[in-house]
Amino acid sequence: MDWVFIKDVKHYDEKEVTLKGWVYNKRSSGKIWFLIMRDGTGIIQGVVLKNEVSEEVFNKKDELTQESSIVVRGLIHADKRSPGGYEIVVKDIEIVQIADEYPIALKEHGVEFLMDNRHLWLRSRKQWAILRIRHTVYHAISDYLNMNGFYRFDSPLLTPNACEGTTTLFKVPYFDLGNAYLSQSGQLYLEAGIMSLGRVYDFGPVFRAEKSKTRKHLTEFWMMDAEAAFIEHDDNLKIQEELIRFVINAVLEKNLSDLEVLERDVEQLKKADAPFKRMTHKETVEFLRSKGSEITEKDDLGAKDEVLLTEDSDVPIFVEKWPKEVKAFYMKRDKDNPDLVLGADLIAPEGFGEIIGGSQREDDHDLLYKRMVDENMPLEDYQWFLDLRKYGSVPHSGFGVGLERLVQWMSGTKHIREVIPFARTIYRLKP
Ligand code: 4AD
Ligand code: MG
């Protein structure tokens, strides 16, 4: 007999199969009882009929507890009434292990309790749905890049210096060489990579000692940095828009049932698959002030500003051309106004905030050097980065997508801690 995954039972109508998984729930009514089981790929209802199985198998209903691990044999049977359209008429149940009393019953719990039991909470239906969406988003991003000439280029996580400013660095003692720092973004290394491969990306964990207590900040999160030679500001935005729309379509294609479990408004996602808006930082400030924000022309957007900006927009908005004081040292100056840089942040609709930060990079050695001196940066640590502007420098651009921010938006999840298997925040290092 074949072991099959629940997601594939539709190919086995009226055939006998073996399913392996866990007890999700059970219900009983006299001569028949129902075993709801899950196996990681799906959930199915098993029907156990007194007349069809041995007494021993029928009586297992008293023994089985929530989350007990089981191997079930039976006949797959199409049934419109059952969720998923198929059920299994049980012939035999083999118990692998009887679970202790499960701390997460099928009812509401406080979030701290759930986070303390994250290793178990992961099995709950909503968490399972979110993890499946995360899987889709991760692969859609990689697929888009692989199809568009980007090579995967793995940047180091232990680094001697900062990419995104020194205030959020995690320090690690490093043998006789002093301190290393956990990477905040692989971007600087990718800028070396493009001079070899043309277009590159990395995709992995990055670290920020963020003291933020918001629902959008983690101290360890996943970032995809992409970088491309001979790509300037406008084309940089085009690539980002295409990538994000590709991801939206992948989620709509692969995760409709998960979006349903999460009660995600799918129409809202469909509407976002349309041309994105573009506003300069200056226009954004004017718009926000007209809506009551106190932001000034020299300010970064606050969390509330991000919500105000997109609350009436169905599509994400690029905020471009920022005052140079607000942005990182590597961004290229706008030739029309040297006080501005060619950076753009992509702000998601529905209050999900910034999902991408990117820019055209300063490719002129002397301008970059001057900016680094002005910012008192330790030049000896960045000599290699300046070198890239000496040996065949080219205009180039790139951007970084926060995986969890994007999954939060796709899945409609309020708090970022639920979209990564084991969240790390200033308050939490366990489990
Ligand atoms: O805007 P950021 O800081 O940009 C960079 O690091 C660039 N070096 C990327 C590049 O150009 N290659 O970070 C990029 C994205 C943000 O837009 C946001 O989505 C996410 O990373 N992000 C966070 N996600 C979760 N928790 C945090 N603490 C985050 N900080 C940034
Ligand atoms: Mg940013």
Residue 29 has a pLDDT of: 82
Residue 393 has a pLDDT of: 98
Residue 275 has a pLDDT of: 98
- Distance from the CA of 152 to the center of ligand 2, in angstroms? 22
- The predicted-structure confidence for 51-81, as pLDDT tens digits, reads as follows 999 999 999 999 999 999 999 999 999 998 8
CA dist., res. 400 & res. 416, Å (int): 17
Q: Is 398 in the pocket of ligand 1 (CB under 6 A)?
A: yes
Q: Is 402 in the pocket of ligand 1 (CB under 6 A)?
A: yes
Q: Cβ(190)–Cβ(201) under 8 Å?
A: yes
For 277-290, b/e burial (b = at least 16 CB within 10 A) is bbbbbbebbebbee
CA dist., res. 386 & res. 383, Å (int): 5
- Closest by CA to 331, choosing from 240, 386, 397, 401, is 397
CA dist., res. 194 & res. 226, Å (int): 10
**Confidence label for 313 from pLDDT (cuts 50, 70 and 90):** very high
Three-state secondary structure readout of 173-241 = ECHHHCEEEECCCCHHHHHHHHHHHCEEEEEEEEECCCCCCCCCCCCEEEEEEEEEECCCHHHHHHHHH
What number does the ligand 1 atom closest to the CA of 399 have? Answer: 11
Q: Is 405 in the pocket of ligand 1 (CB under 6 A)?
A: yes
Residue 27 has a pLDDT of: 93
- Closest protein CA for atom 23 of ligand 1: 402
- Closest by CA to 122, choosing from 402, 426, 428, 417, is 417
Q: Is 352 in the pocket of ligand 1 (CB under 6 A)?
A: no
Name the average pLDDT for the chain.
96
What number does the ligand 1 atom closest to the CA of 210 have? Answer: 28
- Distance from the CA of 98 to the center of ligand 1, in angstroms? 44
Q: Does residue 415 register a pLDDT over 80? A: yes
Residue 45: CB atoms within 10 A of its CB come to 19
> Domains of the chain, with CATH numbers?
2-97 (2.40.50.140), 118-418 (3.30.930.10)
Q: Is 404 in the pocket of ligand 1 (CB under 6 A)?
A: yes
What number does the ligand 1 atom closest to the CA of 218 have? Answer: 26
Q: Is the pTM of this model over 0.75?
A: yes
Q: Is 21 in the pocket of ligand 1 (CB under 6 A)?
A: no
- Closest protein CA for atom 27 of ligand 1: 217
Residue 48 has a pLDDT of: 97
What are residue 199's phi and psi, to 5 degrees? -135, 130
More confident residue, 107 or 370: 370
Kindly state the average pLDDT of the residues 104-127: 92
If one residue of 153, 405, 426 were mutated to test the ligand 1 pocket, choosing by the most ligand atoms within 8 A of its CB, it would be 405
- Distance from the CA of 356 to the center of ligand 1, in angstroms? 6
CA dist., res. 21 & res. 107, Å (int): 21
What are residue 92's phi and psi, to 5 degrees? -150, 145
CA dist., res. 258 & res. 28, Å (int): 27
- Distance from the CA of 402 to the center of ligand 1, in angstroms? 5
- Closest by CA to 322, choosing from 303, 292, 345, 294, is 345
What are residue 173's phi and psi, to 5 degrees? -60, 135
Residue 212 has a pLDDT of: 83
What number does the ligand 1 atom closest to the CA of 406 have? Answer: 19
- The predicted-structure confidence for 239-292, as pLDDT tens digits, reads as follows 999 999 999 999 999 999 999 999 999 999 999 999 999 999 999 999 999 999
Residue 211 has a pLDDT of: 87
**From the CA of 216, which ligand is nearest?**
1
Residue 1 has a pLDDT of: 60
What number does the ligand 1 atom closest to the CA of 208 have? Answer: 28
Q: Is 407 in the pocket of ligand 1 (CB under 6 A)?
A: no
Tell me the percentage of the chain whose pLDDT exceeds 70. 100
Q: Is 400 in the pocket of ligand 1 (CB under 6 A)?
A: yes
What number does the ligand 1 atom closest to the CA of 225 have? Answer: 12
